[in-house]
Copies of this chain bind each other. A is one copy, B any other.
C-alpha cells in the first residue's frame, strides 16, 4: 500500500510561464516515453512478479513508487507554465506580465492560443492532463509486463532510453532556468534507471539470459535459422556487414552468418468460402 508527502521530490520553479512549453511537457506525462507509462509498467511488473523469492517485486516497487512523484512534478510544471495563458482569442492575461512578454516577444493572444493544446484551455482549466504533446490520451496497452523478467528488464531499458532522450530534447528546447533545473534532475534519474535495469540483466545472467525466454529448449527451434542474418534485397546484393552478421553470436552459442532469403514454402491456397459465410456467390465452393 502507499503513502504520500505533500512536498515534491524535487523543486519545480517556473519563472516565465509558457503555454507552448506546457504542451511540450505533456509528452513526458502522457507520451509513450513518459512517466505514467514507466510508473504503471514497473507497478504491473512488480504486482505480477513470479519466482522463488520476492526480490524482484521489492526492487521494482521502489522505483515504481518514485515515478509517481515524477508525474506529480511534471503535472505541477505544466500547471505553472499555463498560469498566464490567454483564455480568449482577444485578451492576453500575459499582457500585464513583463517576464511573460519577454518570452513571448509581444505575440498577439491568438498566436499564443494557436500553439497551445486546445484542451489545456477548454478541458482542464489550465492544468496537466494524461495526454501527450499532441493531445492523444495515454493508453495502457503500452504497459509492458510480460511475465518474463529478462524481457521486462529490456523493455524497461528501452523505456528509460526513450524517456531520457525525450527529457534531453525538452531540456534543449527549454528557455526557463527553473524548467532546465527540474529536467536536469529527471535526466539524472533516467540515467540511473537505465543503469539499474541493465544491472538487473547482468544479475539475471547476462548472455546466459539469452535467448529470452531461456526456459525453452533451443533444440525445439529450427536452429539452422537461429543465428543467420537474412538479406531481402531483390537483386541478391549482399546486405551490409557488421557485428550483427559477423563473428561469435552474442550468447556465445554460434557463429553469425548471412544468407539471401528464399521461399521455403508454397503459394498458399485457402479453401473456398462456405455457402452461408456471407461471401459472394463466385467465391463459394462446391457443397461439402
Interface centre among A144, A261, A268, A269 (most CB of B within 10 A): A268
Do A124 and B140 touch (CB < 8 A)? no
- Size of A's binding interface in residues, CB under 8 A: 195
Whether B58 pairs with A280 at a CB distance below 8 angstroms is no
Distance of A270 Cα from B226 Cα, bound (Å) = 32
- Would A8 and B213 count as touching, CB distance under 8 A? no
Residues in B whose Cβ lies below 8 Å from that of A273: 50-51, 125-126, 147
State the oligomeric state as a number of copies. 6
A210 contacts B195, C-beta separation under 8 Å:
yes
Within 8 A of B (CB), among A68-92: 68-69, 71-73, 75-76, 79-80, 83, 87-90
Residues of B with C-beta under 8 A to A196: 229, 244-245, 256
| A279 neighbours in B (Cβ, 8 Å) | 50-51, 125, 147-149, 213, 215
Q: CA–CA, A51 to B105, complex, Å?
A: 29
Given contacts A88-B174, A133-B119, A148-B280, contact A3 B65 (CB under 8 A): yes
A18 surroundings in chain B (CB, below 8 A): 89
A195 pairs with B20, CB closer than 8 A: no
Q: Is the CB of A282 within 8 A of B149?
A: yes
Instruction: Report Cα–Cα, A105/B278, bound state, in Å.
Output: 27
Going nearest first, the 6 A-B pairs with the smallest beta carbon separation are A125-B147, A48-B127, A134-B135, A8-B265, A114-B115, A7-B263
